[in-house]
């Protein structure tokens, strides 16, 4: 078997100290293969969002190792982590997190601005390509407040994909959307997994979304279980 694109080894995450210590993750071991689509399901407070943030390098674990595409992110400095995240992952949040003063096009292209080796022409080409993939090309000049929730999430997906990362993390991506719009967003994510071979890790409390995944994991009290 090939090496997993994501590997967690004995990962723990604690908040607070002393009697106020809360264990959000408890001795988590996990392997996810390239091209997989994994849904992590659990009630609010079970640790699933913490798991995603730790895997993506947005938070450091209290102990344990996390390898993304062969890179141990627990050994990387805070200064160098953003560069690794830019190369390895895309992240889609429940609350979209678009910049209100920027257009759809600018929100997506902004991810590429720090990459000095990319010409302006190349940045434009990459940005238009992903906006077309999520069917938002015609809305590229609109700002977030001029878009529906579903349209904002499609822009957020384009932003996550513009740098062609091998891994896409999704934290409750349909949580702020109605059921029909949420279904359409999940179809886009599933298509990216199928057609591009992108590894997708989705966390959700919504059991209905597991139908899009190839594998379902369940979390309870910081512990992860198969099926």
- pLDDT band for position 12 (50/70/90)? very high
Contacts of 118 (CB under 8 A, 6+ apart): 112, 126
Rounded distance, CA 169 to CA 49, Å? 10
Please determine, for residue 83, whether its predicted confidence score (pLDDT) is greater than 80.
Answer: no
pLDDT of residue 81: 81
- pLDDT band for position 223 (50/70/90)? very high
Q: Express each pLDDT in 133-191 by its tens digit.
A: 999 999 999 999 999 999 999 999 999 999 888 999 999 999 889 999 999 999 999 99
Among the ranges given (56-60, 113-117, 138-142, 148-152), the one the predictor scored with the smallest mean pLDDT: 113-117
Q: How many other C-beta atoms lie within 10 A of the C-beta of residue 180? A: 9
Rounded distance, CA 108 to CA 90, Å? 12
Mean pLDDT of the chain: 91
The mean pLDDT of 66-70, rounded to a whole number, is 90
Does this model's pTM top 0.85?
A: yes
- Map out the domains of the chain with their CATH numbers: 6-226 (3.40.50.300)
Give Cα separations from 66 to 81, 94, 97, 154 (angstroms): 13, 24, 26, 29
């Amino acid at each position: 078997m090939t090496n997993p694109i994501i590997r967690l080894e004995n990962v723990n995450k604690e908040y607070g100290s002393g009697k106020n210590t809360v264990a959000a993750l408890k001795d988590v071991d996990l392997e996810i293969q390239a091209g997989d689509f994994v849904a992590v399901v659990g009630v609010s407070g079970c640790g699933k969002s913490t798991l995603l943030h730790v895997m993506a390098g947005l938070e450091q674990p209290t102990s344990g190792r996390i390898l993304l595409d062969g890179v141990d992110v627990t050994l990387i400095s805070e200064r160098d982590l953003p560069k690794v995240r830019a190369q390895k992952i895309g992240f889609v949040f429940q609350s979209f997190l678009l910049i209100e003063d920027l257009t759809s096009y600018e929100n997506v292209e902004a991810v590429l601005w720090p990459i000095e080796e990319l010409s302006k022409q190349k940045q434009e080409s990459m940005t238009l390509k992903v906006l077309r993939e999520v069917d938002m090309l015609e809305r590229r000049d609109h700002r977030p407040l001029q878009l529906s929730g579903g349209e904002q999430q499609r822009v957020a997906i384009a932003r996550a994909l513009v740098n062609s990362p091998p891994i896409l993390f999704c934290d409750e991506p349909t949580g702020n959307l109605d059921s029909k719009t949420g279904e359409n967003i999940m179809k886009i994510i599933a298509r990216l997994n199928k057609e591009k071979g992108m590894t997708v890790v989705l966390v959700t409390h919504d059991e209905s979304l597991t139908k899009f995944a190839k594998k379902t994991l369940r979390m309870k009290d910081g512990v992860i279980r198969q099926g």
